[in-house]
């Protein structure tokens, strides 16, 4: 009987028939366990055998296309034939049957190992009682690409110099009812790759190392999904090690909270039936971690999941992993230094964990000799107009961004200009005949005659206030950040810290002692992506209360991402936070 939502075709039909034949032959076709040998010191996974120095040293080293000498083979097999192994894995390629013998590769998701099955030698295993059966070759012929099997046998080297297992017994472990993905090209549909991650991982484990024309792709290929998972695991492990070594303690704070606080974002809402109250999936652990600082944990961190009920794109997901750490007595400059050291050391440790071949392919992201650059938000905005300093009609400087009228004009017109820029093959303010093919590479940007627009829009002092001007500065930066990279002249390629954010959009940050209108806050950009956000923590309970009240007013005006008042956090701050 077929499964209703599994496509019924010749391949799935044949696999179902094979499964029934296997059931007749070996009984239970999904046995509970299979114990692998431990000749490598730990469990004999295929990767462990392939990478074992004890075995590798016996395998003759020959150039591609060449064969080892007969004497080398005899010497290798004299040692390896004494090694009995019990291995298991997925059949990673259709069997190559040659009369009464066959070669097939097994995969553990990382490496592949060839097994050699000969009709005269192989026996099967009955899964119900573990007894050997004579129909081992019949069992082998019922296997399909993607099935899981266990094999017992001894190691040897083939005439081509490949380490293999000469199989003595075969045990069937699990059936692949669906055909395997294309081993040459993998899965190209991004939707399937995301929604059926298991299929993508299988495709990556089966993919061959050579393209159709025989050229090795390893030097330019993208990482497989498994490699991304593995490197992510190494990065997280190294971050934890670095923080632990610097005296930080890891904690877990609530995932479900009565109030959605700690960041400017829309939350997911749920209902607790037993308590009869609404709860929110946390958007950030910040206020809970700072409560711990109040309680005496001077260095604390959490590496965990957050949830934000917002859009999805290449850099945003409704649920994601985030590292937050807090240190008493440290200001924004200390945080930037520590963040830089953390990320540099993490990448260094990642590189050291890679194989020699992987290191050759790896392009360092953070390997910048000098200290990472720091630009104020206004400096970053003004840098987009670099090249027009000599034209007073179009130029924009940091000092000009102190003028609320110019900020008003820029905030109003920039979205329109950016939309036009995305759709037209030339820059604003330029005729087609004036455009050179590589203008965008030199940072050609939005050309706005600011004085003319101030007059045209009739911008008056009465329509402006400091808080709205600050929010417009933030808007302008975000517009540019999301535009084509040419508009930011590669500034956000980084690594670079953008500092001095407007205070009204940084409600948990201390104001700068040099300019009360901006916050002591930074955002770290690497490869045009915001990777970190930090600040000098506001620890004045009265000022924090006032900031929350301002956020409440913003919510009343329709800002769904504005923070809500957290009375308990204010109470905690009132005990004093360093």
Domains 10-174 and 225-347 share a fold: no
Look at 223-232, 308-317, 460-469, 558-567 and tell me which has the smallest mean pLDDT: 460-469
Provide the 10 A C-beta neighbour count for residue 569: 23
pLDDT at position 218, please? 47
pLDDT at position 463, please? 66
Report the C-alpha gap between 445 and 422 in whole angstroms. Answer: 11
Report the C-alpha gap between 29 and 20 in whole angstroms. Answer: 9
- Label residue 281 by pLDDT band (50, 70, 90): very high
Q: Which fold has domain 225-347?
A: BirA Bifunctional Protein; domain 2 (3.30.930)
Look at 7-11, 47-51, 375-379 and tell me which has the smallest mean pLDDT: 7-11
Look at 267-276, 325-334, 445-454 and tell me which has the smallest mean pLDDT: 445-454
Q: Is the pLDDT of residue 482 over 90?
A: no
Q: What CATH number is given for 10-174 in this structure?
A: 2.40.50.140
Q: Is the pLDDT of residue 176 over 80?
A: yes
CB 204 within 8 A of CB 186: yes
Report the C-alpha gap between 163 and 15 in whole angstroms. Answer: 30
pLDDT at position 445, please? 44
- Label residue 451 by pLDDT band (50, 70, 90): low
Placement of tokens 């201390």 in the chain: 510
Report the C-alpha gap between 319 and 305 in whole angstroms. Answer: 7
- Label residue 4 by pLDDT band (50, 70, 90): confident
pLDDT at position 185, please? 60
DSSP string of 372-432, one letter each residue:
PEEEEHHHHHHHTTTT-TT-TTT---TGGGG-HHHHHHHHHHHHHHHHHHHHSSS-TT--G
Q: Is the pLDDT of residue 127 over 80?
A: yes
pTM of the model: 0.85
Residue range 497-507, pLDDT digits in tens: 999 999 999 99
417 to 43, 395, 411, 447: CA distances (angstroms): 62, 16, 11, 9
pLDDT at position 442, please? 40
- Give the mean model confidence (pLDDT) for residues 8-30: 94
What sign for the dihedral angle of Cα 27, 29, 35, 39?
positive
Domain boundaries, the chain: 10-174, 225-347, 354-573
């Amino acid at each position: 009987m077929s499964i209703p939502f599994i496509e019924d075709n010749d391949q799935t039909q044949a696999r179902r028939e094979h499964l029934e034949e296997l059931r007749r032959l070996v009984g239970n076709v999904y046995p509970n366990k299979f114990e692998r040998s431990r000749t490598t010191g730990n469990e004999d996974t295929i990767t462990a055998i392939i990478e074992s120095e004890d075995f590798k040293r016996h395998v003759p080293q020959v150039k591609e296309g060449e064969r080892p000498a007969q004497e080398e083979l005899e010497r290798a097999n004299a040692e390896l034939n004494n090694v009995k192994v019990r291995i298991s894995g997925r059949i990673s390629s259709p069997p190559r049957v040659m009369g009464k013998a066959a070669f097939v590769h097994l995969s553990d998701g990382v490496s592949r190992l060839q097994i050699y099955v000969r009709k005269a030698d192989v026996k099967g295993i009955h899964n119900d009682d573990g007894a050997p059966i004579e129909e081992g070759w019949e069992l082998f012929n019922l296997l399909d690409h993607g099935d899981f099997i266990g094999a017992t046998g001894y190691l040897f080297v083939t005439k081509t110099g490949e380490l293999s297992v000469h199989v003595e017994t075969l045990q069937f472990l699990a059936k692949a009812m669906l055909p395997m993905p294309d081993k040459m090209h993998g899965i190209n549909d991004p939707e399937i790759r995301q929604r059926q991650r298991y299929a993508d991982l299988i495709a990556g484990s089966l993919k061959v190392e050579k393209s159709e024309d025989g050229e090795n792709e390893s030097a330019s290929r993208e990482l497989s999904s498994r490699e991304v998972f593995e490197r992510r695991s190494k990065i997280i492990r190294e971050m934890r090690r670095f923080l632990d070594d610097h005296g930080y303690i890891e904690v877990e704070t609530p995932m479900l909270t009565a109030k959605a606080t700690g960041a400017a974002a829309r939350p997911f809402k749920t209902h607790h039936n037993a308590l009869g109250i609404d709860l929110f999936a946390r958007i950030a652990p910040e206020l809970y971690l700072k409560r711990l600082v109040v309680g005496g944990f001077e260095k604390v961190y959490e590496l965990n999941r957050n949830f934000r009920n917002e859009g999805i794109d290449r850099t945003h997901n409704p649920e994601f992993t985030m590292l937050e750490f807090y240190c008493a007595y440290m200001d924004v400059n200390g945080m930037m230094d520590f963040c830089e050291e953390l990320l540099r050391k993490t990448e260094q440790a990642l590189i050291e964990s890679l194989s020699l071949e992987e290191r050759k392919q790896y392009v360092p992201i953070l390997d910048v000799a000098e200290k990472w650059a720091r630009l104020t938000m206004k400096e970053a905005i003004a840098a987009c107009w670099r090249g027009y300093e000599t034209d007073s009609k179009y130029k924009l400087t940091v000092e000009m961004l102190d003028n609320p009228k110019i900020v008003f004009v820029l905030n109003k017109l920039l979205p329109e200009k950016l939309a036009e820029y995305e759709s037209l093959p030339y820059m604003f303010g330029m005729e087609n005949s004036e455009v050179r093919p590589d203008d965008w590479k030199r940072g050609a940007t939005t050309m706005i005659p600011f004085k003319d627009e101030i007059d045209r829009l009739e911008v008056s002092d009465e329509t402006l206030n400091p808080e709205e001007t600050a929010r417009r500065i933030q808007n302008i930066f975000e517009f540019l950040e999301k535009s084509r990279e040419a508009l930011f002249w590669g500034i956000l390629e980084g690594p670079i810290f953008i500092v001095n954010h407007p205070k009204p959009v940084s409600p948990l940050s201390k104001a700068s002692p040099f300019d009360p209108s901006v916050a002591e806050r930074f955002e770290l950009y690497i490869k045009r992506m915001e990777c970190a956000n930090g600040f000098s923590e506001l620890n004045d309970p009265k000022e924090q209360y006032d900031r929350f009240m301002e956020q409440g007013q913003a919510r009343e005006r329709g800002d769904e991402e504005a923070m809500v008042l957290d009375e308990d956090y204010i109470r905690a701050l009132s005990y004093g936070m360093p």
